[in-house]
Amino acid sequence: MSIIIMLLMISLLILVHELGHFSVARLLKIRVDRFGFGLPFGPTLWEKKIGDVTYCIHAFLLGGYVAFPDDDPESDLPLDDPARLKNRKVWERALVISAGVTANVILAYVIVFCVILFTRGVPTDFNNIYVEKLVDEISVAAEAGLEKGDKVVSINGIEIKSFMEFKKILTANKTDDGYVSNSDLEKQLKQIVEANPHLIKNLGFNTSEIKTRELVEIENTVIPPGKVINVPALVYEDFLLPDLKDPFAQPQVLSEEDKLTDTEKQLKSAIVKEKFAGNGYTTFGEIAKAAADGKHNLNMVVERNGEAITLKLSPNKEGHIGIITRVEDVTVPLTSVSQLFTGSWDYICSKTYLMCLGLYKIFTGQISLWDLHGIVAITKIGGQIIQHRGMVDGWLLTALISIDLAIINLLPIPALDGGHLLFLLVEKLRGRPVEEKYQEAFMKYGFLFLIGLMIFIIFNDILAIVTGKF
């Protein structure tokens, strides 16, 4: 049921978008032939002509359109009639084309405004995180002493303000992550040197005082074949702090230079009971790096019955600690009428900035296209939010989708509103419209591009759901 509600909400956004185009066109006395709710594929559920406009509802509700006489070669409206969209001034056409985006922005603001009015609280990007349940009795969390109801306060002195921050820190510090910092490599190498003084001395190094230059030489020295050396385990790797300000930044902190090679990964299993037998080609540095890849120690402070308790734990190989969390959004209490208006606007602006930032990172390759998702994933996630967190969060998500719909439609891609606005800008600059044949070609290829992108995104969504990403 929650998924159906989410679909209806998304359909509302599309309907409002098309109503924006329709209303401004009618206001400017520009003729509209058809107003369609849904995509014109499959059966038409309802159709009626009122005045000179035919209104219809199609079975496939996730879409909509406003059809002008300009789109119909067989229209009886004279080509030079001012009621035709193409015969109007540039600014008038721009108003009609941008009206859908404007309607979505206004709707998003109204939704947030109503949510704040209803809840008496201004939403923020912050969360309170509670332990809802321990996954099992032998999990990391259970062994550390976490209990149901504990509130996560900080990790290694870093105040946890959102679930995103909590998840990023755990993922960045997972066990056997395949990365070793220079600091940990140096610590592990020193341990190996101290544990094998006679061998190091026989290799020509002064064991009484190992300097940095000599340590580098030892790192690149091959362990003599057949020689068994002591490889003390590194107790804990350094705590790694990911970028918590950028929600799109990856939790990975170290660079590719710090990543274990395939050979070094295989060497981990060659270390048996903290011993390794030289094979004639493995260096001290390689074995040190392999041995240093292990656990990261986290000091997690939780609040329990009003008391701050510090627990030590290390996330497993997946970056999990074995808990199911309960996430509560932090809101600022509504204290004035002006805060109702400004809070709604600030919330919309902050989310718009984040969406534009994400779009920029997609275009610049900082976010993989495989992380690009659409209607299928949104519907599933939205349904889960409505089911588990209620309609208030569902409406806030709908407001964000409305903003996202506005941003996407403004992209200068043919077949989108932004593509039409781009042609109008060119027309304004050159003093005459772009030739019809070029517009049609751009629109044709733009439409094919959008269809291809839509297929790719749907495939991404299905793959993500099947693989358990959502």
Tens digit of each residue's pLDDT (9 = 90 or more) over 73-108? 888 888 888 888 888 899 999 999 999 999 999 999
Given this model, what pLDDT does residue 365 score?
83
pLDDT exceeds 80 at position 427 = yes
Please compute the mean of the pLDDT values over residues 149-156 and round it to a whole number. 96
Contact between 313 and 155 under an 8 Å Cβ cutoff? The reply is no
Strand, coil or helix: 295: coil
Contact between 241 and 298 under an 8 Å Cβ cutoff? The reply is no
Q: Best-predicted range by mean pLDDT among 204-208, 244-248, 445-449?
A: 244-248
Please state, in angstroms and rounded to a whole number, the distance separating the CA atoms of residues 254 and 241.
10
Of 146-160, 195-209, 222-236, 239-253, which range is least confident? 195-209
53 vs 386, residue with greater confidence: 53
pLDDT exceeds 90 at position 403 = yes
**CB-based contacts of 128: which residues, under 8 Å, 6+ apart?**
151, 327, 328, 330
Please compute the mean of the pLDDT values over residues 58-75 and round it to a whole number. 82
Please state, in angstroms and rounded to a whole number, the distance separating the CA atoms of residues 75 and 81.
12
Sign of CA dihedral 81, 83, 86, 92: positive
Domain map (residue ranges) of the chain = 101-120+335-466, 126-292
The DSSP code for 465 is H
Please compute the mean of the pLDDT values over residues 226-251 and round it to a whole number. 89
**CB-based contacts of 469: which residues, under 8 Å, 6+ apart?**
463
pLDDT exceeds 70 at position 391 = yes
320 vs 70, residue with greater confidence: 320
Given this model, what pLDDT does residue 22 score?
93
Comparing C-alpha atoms, which of 24, 30, 35, 26 is closest to residue 97? 24
Please state, in angstroms and rounded to a whole number, the distance separating the CA atoms of residues 106 and 60.
25
Please state, in angstroms and rounded to a whole number, the distance separating the CA atoms of residues 7 and 379.
6
pLDDT digits (tens, 9 = 90+) for 340-358: 999 999 999 999 998 998 8
End-to-end Cα, the chain, rounded Å: 18
The first and second tokens of residue 226, run together, are: 């057949």
Given this model, what pLDDT does residue 468 score?
66
Alpha-helical regions (H) of 244-336:
262-270, 284-292
Strand, coil or helix: 26: helix
137 is catalytic: no
Contact between 291 and 231 under an 8 Å Cβ cutoff? The reply is yes
Comparing C-alpha atoms, which of 402, 307, 451 is closest to residue 115? 402
Q: What's this model's pTM, rounded to 2 decimal places?
A: 0.81
Given this model, what pLDDT does residue 307 score?
95
- The secondary structure of 343-373, three-state, reads HHHHHHHHHHHHHHHHHHHHHCCCCCHHHCC
Active-site pick, 18, 219, 237, 264: 18
Q: Tell me the pLDDT band of 470, cut-offs 50, 70 and 90.
A: low
